Amino acid sequence: GAIDIECGNTTQTISRRADFDFSLMTFVDGASLLYRSGENPKSLDDIKGQRIAVVSGTTTEKAMEKLVAAEKLGIQLIKVKDHNEALAALQNKTATAYAADRTVLITTALLGGEGKAYTVAENQFTYEPYGLMMRRDAELRLAVDRTLAQLYRSGEIGPVLQNWFGPLGKPGEVLTVMILLNGLPE
């Protein structure tokens, strides 16, 4: 194909690995909720019977569908095409919350948040191990993994995270452990 590597917030799953190669993990995230400031739901119980926006085709959509069915909370999922449409649903109050990966929600809140209009819930309800998705090519995957492992081992990943995420770039405990575990020796 025309693309060698997809460098986005792509969650590694077993089903995706059936079709594509993935690098070592590059980030660990998890789905949470973005809501209008002041509403402050502490758990899914706090939004029983509400409408939650979720982008179609994402791992968060699948997780929310399972969670809503299992917990019987009467939550209605509003399926949207992208993050902008989800934010619009929050702004016009057709949705009480927006479910997505925390990093996506933080970015959405910062870029479209009109100051402090939105808050990201502290709790996460999924595990999202990100990796670089690529065409099947063992040599390419090895070159990418070798580079990532070297960045992790040397500590050079710190300035990279700081550059891209600014004050949000300081790794938390889970990301620190991921970096340690993926800093494979040569």
| Model pLDDT, residue 177 | 92
pLDDT of 179 strictly over 70: yes
Instruction: Give the burial string for 89-100 (b: 16+ CB within 10 Å, else e).
Output: bbeeeebbbbbb
Please state, in angstroms and rounded to a whole number, the distance separating the CA atoms of residues 100 and 84: 12
Within the chain, strands assigned E span 5-6, 21-29, 31-36, 51-55, 76-80, 97-101, 118-120, 128-134
β-partners of residue 35 are 97, 119
What integer is the mean pLDDT of 130-142? 96
| Model pLDDT, residue 136 | 94
> Does this chain's domain 5-28+127-182 share its CATH topology with 31-120?
yes
pLDDT tens track for 21-56: 999 999 988 888 998 888 777 677 788 899 999 999
What integer is the mean pLDDT of 61-82? 91
Please state, in angstroms and rounded to a whole number, the distance separating the CA atoms of residues 27 and 56: 22
Q: What is the 8-class DSSP label of residue 49?
A: T
Q: Which residues contact 47 (CB under 8 A, 6 or more apart)?
A: 33, 41, 73, 75, 96, 97
What's the topology of domain 31-120?
D-Maltodextrin-Binding Protein; domain 2 (3.40.190)
Helix (H) or strand (E) holding 103: helix 102-112
| Model pLDDT, residue 3 | 87
pLDDT tens track for 94-131: 999 999 988 888 888 877 756 578 888 877 888 889 99
In angstroms, how far is CA 186 from the centroid of its own chain? 29
Domain ranges of the chain: 5-28+127-182, 31-120
Q: What percent of the chain has pLDDT over 90?
A: 54
Helix (H) or strand (E) holding 89: helix 83-91
Tell which CATH architecture fits domain 5-28+127-182: 3-Layer(aba) Sandwich (3.40)
pTM over 0.95: no
| Model pLDDT, residue 47 | 81
| Model pLDDT, residue 115 | 56
